[in-house]
Amino acid sequence: MFKHFIIISSTFVLLLANEPISPIPQTVKYNQAKALLGKRLFYDTLLSKDNTVACVVCHNLSSGGADARKVSQGVYGRLGNIQSPTVYNARYNFKQFWNGRANNLKEQAKEALENPNEHDMNPQLIEQRLNASTSYKKLFYKVYHTKKITFNETIDAISEFEKALITPNAKFDKYLRGESSLNHQEKDGYILFKQYGCITCHNGINIGGNSFQKMGTFFPYKTKASYPDRAEILKNKKYHNVFKVPTLRNIALTSPYFHDGSSKTLLQAVKKMAYYNLGIDIPDDDAQKIVAFLKTLTGEKPKIVEAP
């Protein structure tokens, strides 16, 4: 029986190794006390200039960790300049933000807090407000053993919370682990997803988030608006409309789609991407099957989100 288990396990590992997508781990290591402090900060409007905006406003943890609006609204009603991506599974992105200007979650948190269209804060004001709070001073002392709260500790706690925001056990993850099966439409959708070439950019554990690609490879993607792309970072027009490939995890929950929020439905998004980046006018039937596959990528809400 033990030998039989080894053979089955070896076969399963070999099958999994041949797949271009990896399941999300069911658990990850993080500092729980630090993450719970980060959660409180993530929900607190104290970290915005006019006390109206919290991180959760643009990254709604109840609906995919993203924003249902084309662009988010920050302090004093100021609007952002790009669609807010999901914060779920962001730990698996090789860069943060659409144009990859942040290397990690700490840099991402720092920039969001200092962005004039988002929180419009600075390290000194954040430290001043937090140190004026008796409850925060107790919490930071418990976690960091310091009597004076610093900005670095603040973004450290927020990023620790974001590290805990994984969404395991999607139907497709269970399928990859041999614990569940896909129906015919979902399975056909996954096959088409690979055959059409979507898998070229959307692969790995986050099914994206691990490369930069141009929006409009076969046909130019024209828009009247200007978005912060790689050209802005590299100061090179050659990288116009080049963005980080977004994760497809929980994609059914994160409408609207693309950096400009131009597609409201998954079907529209699939057909648009097939046209501009694959040069294909994909049949509706095939697109519907791919959508069925994409809906299997919705995972479980992180346990820490429900924690008090």
Residues in Cβ contact with 274 at an 8 Å cutoff, skipping those fewer than 6 apart: 196, 280, 281, 282, 287
User: Which position among 19, 107, 111, 118 bears the catalytic label?
Assistant: 118
> Can 111 be counted among the known catalytic residues?
no
Helix axis angle, 32-42 to 151-163, nearest 10°: 100
Cα–Cα distance for residue pair 185/26, rounded to 1 Å: 26
Alpha carbons within 13 angstroms on the beta-carbon side of residue 259 total 26
Cα–Cα distance for residue pair 93/106, rounded to 1 Å: 13
Helix axis angle, 284-294 to 184-195, nearest 10°: 110
Cα–Cα distance for residue pair 37/279, rounded to 1 Å: 47
Q: Could you tell me which of 12, 25, 44 has the C-alpha nearest to residue 157? A: 44
Active site residues: 118
